Chain A
């Protein structure tokens, strides 16, 4: 276990190396956040309440969504792709650690660095320019934290499964982009799926994506009663188990297919 902690530590140092990248990320997130805020303000002009959510809660929703999107940055698929393209995957394979365990530790390290570099600034910007995103019901905090941890894991597992494709396909740039944008749309990170036609929403609620963003965000803004939230978390947990099982099955096979490019 200690070695993985050290990988996390090293990754924090690495992430801090290029400060300039940080500012870019903050600016991008701020733009998305403020644009969405105006969008929702406009939509809510003649309505107090849509699907049991008022305008104020919706603003909280998008600020927290912006913060979550920092937490839910995964580098694993890019990481695998780059090391396969450059051939450095050989280095990853020759160390006495679980290859994916190493990638996971690296992602955790990046997120810890980004927590201070990105999340705090975005939180402050959101609080000043939009509103202070207070939690609707503070007793739901444990639920919220657990659901965020689970959504992080679900998100990471999906990314890792995508990354495995790179072991054989080598270049998966386009696929990563498709996945990223599809995820944004289907997870309710920008538009909650309760705004979608009912049939679409029903389908999406069976898929794992809404449990990445929408579930923890709903808990945060207090949408639905406690029973709804618990039921959502049960489905989230089932998805976590399913994806973990697929991941464990696939990882051994994927590493066997590794292509090491170059002489």
Chain B
């Protein structure tokens, strides 16, 4: 479906000294710094996948998405969508692509939402029948019809993002790119958006590629994660695989009746305070049940709990923070 091969993007960034004197100097003498926003990225995405692109701010996520959507021209490397090179056949390939940027809208500020949709209907040459059918589906998930007569400039952020999602889906693209779609949304709007993504993925088999900083988005939506940092791919795989690879351990927390805590051969005691002790063990070597059984032979145990590396820990580790 989507193949990315050795994708790189370099920018020339004007380097300016800070302050007014810096600005004045910059007028006469310019220094440029080459920024490698994306470095030699290669991956393949199949039809119907939901892939989460994650990484800290400035990691090159948006740049990658923009290149995949044919908006930015790569410095080197290729993007193929359905086997077609995006830089060579932009006008044809973009028919199969929908894009939503959480921070900017493709809707027309001066028009009513319905008018914006009508314009897109004509630009993409969508048949009236298909247009109505898509709107029906969108109405069921997002309740979009009641917004059609509202001018976009009077919409709330949540409504506008809904409008943007529908606008991106009107031509039934095979691939939907979402660049931080949930940014700034309240809980119920986020919920609606996630439902929307899951539904279109199910009903229309749309391949979804999204960037996000929202852990909820990742947990609920992404079967596969691509983690990038400094423009380089750090991890690629499904969530549990990545967790197993980055954090192949769990932590067992045991509460005793007194302050003495026994050691165990197959795990490491990482903390001991009062009557609570924390044991870190490798998932492949042993199980929590085994350790509890062994420990309970030596001492009476009051309570146990297991801490697992969560997605936020994974991200912290993967980002190298």
Residues in A lying within 8 Å of B, measured CB to CB: 2-3, 5-7, 10, 13-14, 17-18, 86-88, 90-91, 93-98, 256-258, 260, 262-263
Task: Give Cα distance in the complex from A262 to B62, angstroms.
Answer: 9
Q: With a CB–CB cut-off of 8 A, which chain B residues contact A6?
A: 118-119, 122-123
Contacts A90-B101, A90-B104, A263-B180 hold; do A3 and B125 have CB atoms under 8 A apart?
yes
In the assembled complex, the CB of A53 is this many whole angstroms from the nearest CB of chain B, namely: 43
Beta-carbon contact of B108 and A10 below 8 Å: yes
CA distance A50 to B108 in the complex (A): 51
What CA separation (Å) do A94 and B68 show in the bound complex? 11
**Nearest neighbor of B177 in chain A, beta-carbon distance:** A94
- Contact check, B111 vs A10: say whether CB atoms are below 8 A apart: yes
Query: A243 to chain B: closest CB distance in Å?
Result: 24
Closest CB-CB distance, B166 to chain A, in whole Å?
15
Is residue B115 contacting chain A, with contact meaning CB distance below 8 A?
Answer: yes
Contact residues in B for A262 (Cβ distance below 8 Å): 103-104
Provide a sorted-by-A list of 7 A–B residue pairs whose CB atoms are within 8 angstroms.
Answer: A3-B124, A6-B119, A14-B111, A17-B110, A18-B110, A90-B69, A94-B69
Please tell me if B106 contacts chain A, counting CB pairs below 8 Å.
yes
| Cβ contacts under 8 Å, B110 to chain A | 13-14, 17-18
- By beta carbon, the residue of chain A nearest B179 is A263
**Which residues of the other chain, A, contact B95 by a CB distance below 8 angstroms?**
96
Q: Does B306 sit at the interface, judged by CB under 8 A?
A: no
Cα A124 to Cα B94 with chains together (Å): 47
Contact A94 B99 (CB under 8 A): yes
Most buried by B among A91, A98, A258, A263: A263
* B190 nearest CB across to chain A (Å): 19
Q: What is the size category of the interface that chain B forms with chain A?
A: 20 to 34
| B-side contacts of A98, CB under 8 Å | 91
Most-contacted residue by chain A among B111, B118, B123 (CB, 10 A): B123
What are the residues of chain B within 8 A of A260 when measuring CB–CB? 66, 71-72
A96 near B108 (CB under 8 angstroms)?
A: no
Residues of A within 8 A of B124 (CB): 3, 95-96
Decide if B70 touches A94 in the complex (CB within 8 Å). yes
Which chain B positions have C-beta within 8 A of A95?
A: 94, 123-124
Contact A258:B71 (CB < 8 A) given known A98-B91, A263-B62: yes
Whether A94 and B97, one on each chain, are in contact in the complex, defined by CB atoms closer than 8 angstroms, is yes
Which chain B residues border A10 with CB–CB below 8 Å?
A: 108, 111, 115, 118-119
Which residues on the A side are within 8 Å of B104 (C-beta)? 86-88, 90-91, 262
Residues on B with C-beta less than 8 A from A2 are 122, 125
A108 to chain B, nearest CB (A): 15
CB nearest neighbor in A for B123: A3
* With A6-B123, A96-B94, A263-B180 as contacts: A90 and B73 at CB distance below 8 Å: no
| A87-B104 Cα distance, complex, nearest whole Å | 8
Chain B residues closer than 8 Å to A5, beta-carbon distance: 122
Flag whether B156 is at the interface (Cβ < 8 A). no
Complex Cα distance, B95 from A194, in Å, reads 53
Between A18, A88, A90, A260, the greatest number of chain B beta carbons within 10 A of the residue's beta carbon is seen for A90
